[in-house]
Structure 1
Amino acid sequence: MTEQQKSALVVRGGWGGHVPVPASDRYAAALKEDGYAVTVSDTLDSYLDRELLAATDLIVQCWTMGQITGDQAVGLADAVRAGTGFAGWHGGIIDSFRSETRYQLMTGGQFVHHPREFTTYLVRPLPEHAEHPVLAGIEPFTVTTEQYYLHMDPAVEVLAVTDYEDDPDNPELAGVVMPVTWTRRWGAGRVFVTAIGHNLADLEVPEVDSMIKKGMAWATR
């Protein structure tokens, strides 16, 4: 690895319904194409390796549900606080480790519900953030997939939103303006999240793919 080359750690696992291996392979390949040295890990014990994390410019996580130990959560949060970037999509980053609130403080949002069926909804980039690197070239677009209802940290910088669609099981939620894509700072580190990405078809939507690639670049140390 040359001195200038960026390094990325891709951590994947958890619930198989979010296709963690093919989904993370997609973006590991994209990072390699952009010149990153990429390490892929199938264990959360990577978050205990402080030497590895200190040498890592970007962590991309695709790990839905599961359990993280307190030491693993602290190791990850400390690395990001020290400047390592953290990025991910959908349940792989905001439905991870449901009982670990220290992790949720860092990501800035937590999945709590989605309608039983896929929903077609409009994603609206916020005009006040039109110049943000993550939104470059992104106009409003529609997706047909799970629409996440989230509990959100008001301290994040929301870049794109959606109007929550009708949900027969929870009609009270209809019309709520819900964040879809956001960033935040965690100490010296940058965190990028998008709620879209249930399956590979979601990731192949050009606007989604663009936001994730640009989000990873933005979060990199």
Structure 2
Amino acid sequence: SSTSDGFFISQKKYIQDLLARAALTDERTVETPMELNVHLRDTDGDPLSDPTRYRHLVGSLVYLAVTRPDISYPVHILSQFVSAPTSVHYSHLLRVLRYLRGTISHRLFFPRSGSLQLQAYSEATWASDPSDRRSLSAYCVFLGGSLIAWKTKKQTAVFRSSAEAELRAMALLTAEVTWLRWLLQDFGVSVTTPTLLLSDSIGAISIAR
């Protein structure tokens, strides 16, 4: 939808259809899409007799995450179990749906005016996967006040400290920022100032320097 201030992008109708297909029997909502410090394993719970619905709903959430960065992390986690989901995985999937029910009106906003400078935020969760001890990288990139890129991705190697994991996440984000700077130049946007990359890891920042 378009306003005098900018543009709003949402998938409210898609969420409504998704909730209808999920056939939740209650009207409960939750404030967060996933509980804090949850570490899911392949062996948690009992295998689902028919995993078709789980796979269908997770696939729908992957599509929805294109405009809902707030569910990027739980969708990344739940997608790892589509081959053999269990009752525990399904209960966490339902939590995401209840969160969406309570936040169905959330939208992305892109203002008509503002800075065309990039600003990036990097984060990592160290050894958060209990099965292989690999960490997760996560980032988001703003163009002025507009959120234009985000990702949650498991790292390819096991690192022995949180600083190493944070540095790996910063390297992933640096590659994304470099590509975005080239893309802006192709669009005719002047990119002359350095892009600010923010991280909360003192160790990773020191190594990067």
TM range (shorter): under 0.3
Is the strand fraction higher in 1 or 2? 1
TM-score (norm 2): 0.24
Higher alpha-carbon Rg = 2
TM-score, normalising length: structure 1: 0.23
